[in-house]
Amino acid sequence: MDLQNYNPMYVLQQPERAPGYVVSAELWNELFHLLTAQGNNTAEAVKTLIDKMVSHRDSDDHDTRYYTKDELAQYLQGGDTSISIEVFTIVSSDNGDGTFTYNNGTADIVGQLTAEGHQVFTLANGTYDLGQNRVEAYVNDTLHRSAASGGLAEISPNKVALTQPEDAGAEITIKYYERISLGGEQSIILSSIQPQRTANRSILWFKLL
């Protein structure tokens, strides 16, 4: 059955017949056959719809304009914020040639000093988004530094500078966020009906088809 061109068959009749009208055998047969045809028509349409849904569910063939539930799963994970921490120890605060030296726990690394004397550290394990205040530093597990509060400058996705240089022996712990979980910021709803918007509720709606 071609569902796009399917036309439901209706059998409702409202004849204006006078009281005492006698229904003939021919009319009874006509009505009976009409009801049978209508029932078969509806049953065939329902069966075609069920077959299509089962076939679609059990195969990889679907409209690529829309995501399947499995395809959406990777975006709907909760608590998957990725936080990285790298710890450095300053070996030499100024080498006298525009550089300084720090240790990452396994080897000494020569870092650059900016024209202002800021100490630039290069992250080895990941990156962060610039301008989002997603990186911060702690000096000797005590002093906090960030672009928002001061003492830290975001140089590039994998470079951070201390704008208040530290001396040899100082331990610098750099904490940065590589990915922020969407689940913690919005209410995620999967439904066929669009949810109601409210002033104090942030909603991300995925429409089920």
Give the pLDDT confidence of 80-134 residue by residue, as tens digits.
567 889 999 999 999 999 999 999 999 999 999 999 999 999 998 888 888 888 8
Are residues 87 and 18 both part of a single domain? no
In a domain, 62, yes or no: no
Do 193 and 163 share a domain, yes or no? no
Length of the chain, in residues: 209
pLDDT in tens, 140-172: 999 999 999 999 999 998 999 999 999 999 999
Range of the domain at 119: 82-179
The confidence band for 13, taking pLDDT boundaries of 50, 70 and 90, is: confident
pLDDT band at 32 (very low <50, low <70, confident <90, very high): confident
Same domain for 143 and 203? no
Question: What confidence tier does 193 reach under pLDDT thresholds 50, 70, 90?
Answer: low
Q: Do 171 and 118 belong together in one domain? A: yes
Residues 73, 115 within the same domain: no
Q: How far apart are the C-alpha atoms of 28 and 13, rounded to whole Å?
A: 13
Confirm whether 168 is domain-assigned.
Answer: yes
> Are residues 103 and 161 both part of a single domain?
yes
Residues 6+ apart with CB under 8 A from 156: 130
| pLDDT tier at 137, thresholds 50, 70, 90 | very high
Residue 7: its pLDDT value, please?
77
Q: Is the pLDDT of residue 199 over 80?
A: no
| CA dihedral sign, ordered 89, 95, 97, 98 | positive
b/e per residue 180-202 (b: at least 16 CB within 10 A): eeebeeeeeeeeeeeeeeeeeee
Same domain, 100 and 114: yes
Q: Does a structural domain hold residue 63?
A: no
**195 and 172 inside one domain:** no
8 Å CB contact between 176 and 83: yes
Same-domain pairing of 171 and 197: no
Determine the pLDDT at residue 67.
65
133 plus 164 within the same structural domain: yes
Q: 94: helix, coil or strand?
A: coil
Same-domain status, 46 and 108 = no
Whether residue 56 is predicted with pLDDT greater than 60 in this model: the reply is no
Of 165, 159, 163, the C-alpha closest to 150 is 163
> Domain tally for the chain?
3
pLDDT at 132: 84
The model carries a pTM of: 0.51
> What's residue 159's pLDDT?
95
Residue 96 lies in a domain: yes
The confidence score (pLDDT) of residue 55 equals 62
